[in-house]
Amino acid sequence: MQDRLDKLINEFTQKYIDALSRLKNRGRRSYGFEYEFLPARILTRDDVQSVAGLLAEIGFSSNCDGHQAENGLRVGFEPGGQIEYGSPPLFADDNILFDSLLLFIRQTNETIRERLGIEYIGTDFLPGRAEAPLCLTADRYVKLHERLARVGSRGLEMMKGTASIHLHVVISDFDEILPLFSLLCRLSSADEFKMSRERKDIWQHTDATRCGRPPCCFEQLGASETLIRRLIHFALHAEVLGEDVPFINSSDLSFDAFLYHMTTLFTDIRFNLKGPTLELRTMDSMPLAQFRPRWQKFISLLERI
C-alpha cells in the first residue's frame, strides 16, 4: 500500500509539474470570476431547461460547457438550479469590460425574471433546499447527490441551497504558484473573502474528504513542488464518487481519472487546470452592487506578487 502511494505521488506530481512548467512567458497575468445566484423559489429540472431555452433565444450559443454570450461570458447551472456566470479572462486594468459584464449579468437575470418569473438573487444561503429536486442529470452530480445524502449532515444543503463567487488567478509562471497559493489561503480567512458563518457550518458538515481548507494552508512549504505533492497526497486519500473508497484504492488509477477526481473536490482553494488557475472559493454570493470593491481588492493584492 505504501509503495503504491509513493509511486502515485511521484508519478502524478511529475505529470502535474510537467503541465504547469510549460507556463513560462505567457505574458500578462489575467484573472476571472464565477458568480452564482440562488433562485428565490425551489426550481425543477423543467425550470432549468426553460432558462436554458431562453438563453438560446436571447443570443447565447451552446457548447459542451454550457452557454456563452458574444462578450465571452459563460453561463451554467448548479444542482439546485443556481445560475452561474463565468467571466472571460480579465486583466487588472480591464475596468470597462468588468463593469459591462456585471451590467450584462444584471440584464440577463432581469430578462429571466420578466420572461419566466424566475428570480435569481445574490445571497450565500437559502434554507429548506436539502430535499429540493436535483436539477442536473450529469453522472457526477447524481453520484455526488447520492453520496451527500449519506455522508455528513448538510451536504444536500450545500449542493442546492448555497451560492458563492469563485475568484481565479491565472498561473503564468511555475515559480508563482506557492506565493499565489499562500496569499489565497490568507484571503480565505479575511473578512472580505471568507465564508459567512452559516455557509461555513454547512461546508464543515458536508464531506470531510473533499471540502474545507487544503491541508497545507499556512505552512512554510518552501517550494511549489512541495505544495503540489501535498495536494496530490490529499486528493489520493479523498473518496471517489460512485466507489466511496479513497482514490488510492479505486478501480482506475490513471492520471486522467485522477484529474477528473480532483474536479470533484471542493476545497477552499484549489488548482483548476483548465486555465490553468488557482481558485479561491470562499467568498459568498452577494448583490451585484457589492462585488466591485471586493474584485478591486482581490486584483490589487495579487498584482503585488
Kindly report, residue by residue over 131-176, the tens digit of the pLDDT: 999 999 999 999 999 999 999 999 999 999 999 999 999 998 888 9
Whether residue 120 is predicted with pLDDT greater than 90 in this model: the reply is yes
HSE on the CB side for 218, CA within 13 Å?
Answer: 7
Q: What are phi and psi of 47, to 5 degrees?
A: -60, -45
Instruction: Find the mean pLDDT for residues 278-293.
Output: 97
| Whole-angstrom distance, CA of residue 134 vs CA of residue 44 | 7
Whether residue 25 is predicted with pLDDT greater than 60 in this model: the reply is no
Which helix (H) or strand (E) segment holds residue 210: the answer is none
Q: How far does CA 3 lie from the centroid of its chain? A: 32
The cell for 263 is 474536479
Q: 2-14 in b/e burial notation, b at 16+ Cβ within 10 A?
A: eeeeeebbeebbe
DSSP string across 46-106: HHHHHHHHHHHHTTPEEETTEEE-TTS-EEEE-TTS-EEEEPPPB-TT-HHHHHHHHHHHH
What sign has the CA pseudo-torsion 81, 104, 74, 98? negative
| Whole-angstrom distance, CA of residue 279 vs CA of residue 276 | 10
- Give the list of residues 6+ apart from residue 64 with CB closer than 8 angstroms, or none: none
pLDDT at position 274 is 78
Entry pTM: 0.96
Secondary structure (3-state) at 165? strand
pLDDT at position 2 is 82
What sign has the CA pseudo-torsion 105, 110, 112, 115? negative
| Whole-angstrom distance, CA of residue 195 vs CA of residue 190 | 9
Query: Higher confidence at residue 1 or residue 16?
Result: 16
pLDDT at position 23 is 62
- Give the list of residues 6+ apart from residue 251 with CB closer than 8 angstroms, or none: 243
For the chain, list the strands marked E by DSSP. 31-39, 61-63, 66-68, 74-77, 83-86, 120-121, 164-170, 211-212, 266-267, 269-272, 277-284
| Whole-angstrom distance, CA of residue 289 vs CA of residue 210 | 32
Whether residue 210 is predicted with pLDDT greater than 60 in this model: the reply is yes
pLDDT at position 178 is 94
Whether residue 275 is predicted with pLDDT greater than 80 in this model: the reply is no
Report the CATH fold assignment for 28-213+270-302: Creatine Kinase; Chain A, domain 2 (3.30.590)
- Give the list of residues 6+ apart from residue 229 with CB closer than 8 angstroms, or none: 9, 13
Whether residue 184 is predicted with pLDDT greater than 60 in this model: the reply is yes
In the chain, the amino acid numbered 303 is E
Q: 161-176 in b/e burial notation, b at 16+ Cβ within 10 A?
A: bbbbbbbbbbbbebeb
Bond from prior residue into 293 cis (ω within 30 degrees of 0): no
For 238, which DSSP code?
Answer: S
pLDDT at position 60 is 96
pLDDT digits (tens, 9 = 90+) for 55-95: 999 999 998 778 999 999 999 999 999 999 999 999 999 99
pLDDT at position 26 is 65
pLDDT at position 27 is 74
Helix, strand, coil share (%) of the chain residues, nearest 5: 45, 15, 40
